[in-house]
């Protein structure tokens, strides 16, 4: 018997190769202080709304398959991994890599190989005026327009997010390693690199880029701040233009937290969402074989909305050893988060959270990850 998960827009019915550019710097330092299972026979039904999730799974032959799910039904694209997904004019655009490690994007099932040296990796995708833009690295940060590569300055660097404004300006977010070996969060606007702020003597990375309705560019990721006890303490962060906001690690399951990281972001009118994780320190216990207290330590998936943290089920405090949240989207009052959880069977499985309700996309024994989510409204 099929299980139907029903969403509506108005009423929630479930789970109430040339190097270009110059370097500039910006300064800012603001801080803001049960499991459902979907399998291939399950449908997510909505009124004019489809939920797409990108990722990969390991098949019975132990090969890694690039795939995406539409309303809970999996579509395989061949060996590889999908790292990002969008839908434009009814076409599904995915990016990642295919068999042999080639950076690739797909339009529906059609494969496009990206120009590169053979070491290229692609992480993000967007479409503007019919052209496909992807961001990644190939011996340093770069982006591709359709399949043609533009190398970005920065040496040891990578692009992780990309967005294009209506006027055609291209924004790539990522990092570069400076001469003092600090990892600096950076954005390249039309190839010109701008350094984003970090805590003093700290590090950081941009993992995602989004543009608001008003045209403001947001960058999502994390920063690291020196700490006398722990060395460095990471925090999820986002930058609204050049203004940075570090997000709190506390709240919810708040015991012995080491730090957190942010990955994908989403803008819904004035609301700012960030998906990520928090790492917890394992407590000492002399009476256990590994000298750690059961139910402590590990990674906990969560998201932030306007600076407030929301814990997601499937972490170290509810019978799962580890969980991560990589991307977030919304429709109305419904928040959808993509990531993975490690089950009691010690398997990392692709997961989706819909308003905090955990859904295992392929059950509790299929190894894989859900890397991105896109809601086609």
The 10s digit of each residue's pLDDT in 173-188 is: 999 998 767 899 999 9
Cα separation, 93 vs 142, whole angstroms: 19
Strand partners, 276: 262, 302
pLDDT exceeds 50 at position 41: no
Give the model's pLDDT for residue 283. Answer: 73
Q: How confident is the model at residue 369 (pLDDT cuts 50, 70, 90)?
A: very high
Task: Tell me the average pLDDT across 61-89.
Answer: 94
Locate the domains of the chain by residue range.
4-376
- Is 4-376 a domain of CATH 2.130.10.10? yes
- DSSP alpha helix (H) spans, the chain: none
For 354, the token pair is 């819909």
Percent of the chain with pLDDT over 90: 63
pLDDT exceeds 60 at position 22: no
**DSSP character for 100?**
T
pLDDT exceeds 80 at position 205: yes
User: From its phi and psi, is residue 263 left (phi > 0), alpha (psi between -120 and 50) or beta?
Assistant: alpha
Give the model's pLDDT for residue 26. Answer: 40
pLDDT exceeds 50 at position 39: no
Cα separation, 237 vs 245, whole angstroms: 6
The string of DSSP codes covering 157-191 is EEEEEEEE-TT--EEEEEEEE-TTS-EEEEEEETT
User: What tens digit of pLDDT does each residue of 287-301 get?
Assistant: 877 776 766 667 889
């Amino acid at each position: 018997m099929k299980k139907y998960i029903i969403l509506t827009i108005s009423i929630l019915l479930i789970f109430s190769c040339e190097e270009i550019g110059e370097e500039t710097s910006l300064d800012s330092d603001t801080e803001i202080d049960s499991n459902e299972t979907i399998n291939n026979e399950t449908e997510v039904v909505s009124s004019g709304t489809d939920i797409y999730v990108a990722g990969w799974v390991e098949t019975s032959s132990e090969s890694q398959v690039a795939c995406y799910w539409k309303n809970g039904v999996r579509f395989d694209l061949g060996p590889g991994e999908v790292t990002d997904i969008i839908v434009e004019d009814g076409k599904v655009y995915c990016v990642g890599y295919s068999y042999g490690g080639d950076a690739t994007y797909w339009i529906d099932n059609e494969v496009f190989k990206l120009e590169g040296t053979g070491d290229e990796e692609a992480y993000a995708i967007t479409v503007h005026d019919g052209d496909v833009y992807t961001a990644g690295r190939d011996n340093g940060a770069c982006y591709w327009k359709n399949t043609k590569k533009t190398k970005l300055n920065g040496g040891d660097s990578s692009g992780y997010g990309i967005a294009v404004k209506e006027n055609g300006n291209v924004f790539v977010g990522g990092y570069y390693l400076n001469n003092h070996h600090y990892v600096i969060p950076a954005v390249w606007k039309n190839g010109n690199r701008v350094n984003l702020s970090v805590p003093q003597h700290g590090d950081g990375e941009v993992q995602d880029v989004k543009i608001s309705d008003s045209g403001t560019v947001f960058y999502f990721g994390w920063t690291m701040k020196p700490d006398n006890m722990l060395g460095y303490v990471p925090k999820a962060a986002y930058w609204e233009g050049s203004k940075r906001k570090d997000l709190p690690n506390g709240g919810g399951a708040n015991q012995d937290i080491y730090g957190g990281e942010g990955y994908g972001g989403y803008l819904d009118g004035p609301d700012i969402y960030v998906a990520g994780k928090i790492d917890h320190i394992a407590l000492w216990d002399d009476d256990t074989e590994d000298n750690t207290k059961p139910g402590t330590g590990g990674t906990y998936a969560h998201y932030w909305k306007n600076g407030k943290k929301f814990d997601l089920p499937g972490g170290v405090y509810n019978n799962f050893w580890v969980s991560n949240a990589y991307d977030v989207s919304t429709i109305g009052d419904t928040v959808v988060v993509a990531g993975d959880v490690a089950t009691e069977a010690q398997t990392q499985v692709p997961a989706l959270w819909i308003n905090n309700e955990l859904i295992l996309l392929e059950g509790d024994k299929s190894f894989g990850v859900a890397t991105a989510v896109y809601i086609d409204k």
